[in-house]
């Protein structure tokens, strides 16, 4: 299934920034509105996940989505839109 077509990487990065700015820091992660944000050791790869979807954004806006079904992804995308309505 082609989940990647549904992701707006720029929007996801704006949501990542909001989660790290407004969220609660727990260890090396931030939590905000059901999302968890983190980075790898050098900060070039960022992770944004809910309890059912994990979005990994690599350098140059390449990305990977891991989820088990389209409904979970739709809910994740809807949450991104709520947190970044632009």
> Per-residue pLDDT for the chain (86 aa), expressed as one digit of tens each?
455 568 999 999 999 999 999 999 999 999 999 999 999 998 899 999 999 999 999 999 899 999 999 999 999 999 999 999 87
pTM of the model as a whole: 0.91
- Residue 86 domain-assigned? no
What does the DSSP 8-state code read for residue 42? T
Residue 84 lies in a domain: no
The pair of structure tokens assigned to 61 is: 């806006």
Helix (H, G, I), strand (E, B) or coil at 59: helix
Domain that holds residue 75: 4-79
């Amino acid at each position: 299934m082609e989940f990647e077509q549904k992701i707006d990487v720029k929007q996801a990065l704006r949501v990542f920034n909001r989660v790290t700015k407004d969220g609660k820091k727990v260890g090396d992660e931030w939590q905000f509105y059901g999302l968890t944000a983190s980075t790898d050791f050098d900060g070039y790869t960022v992770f944004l996940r809910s309890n059912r979807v994990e979005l990994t954004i690599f350098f140059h806006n390449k990305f990977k989505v891991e989820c088990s079904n389209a409904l979970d992804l739709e809910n994740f995308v809807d949450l991104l839109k709520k947190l970044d309505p632009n």
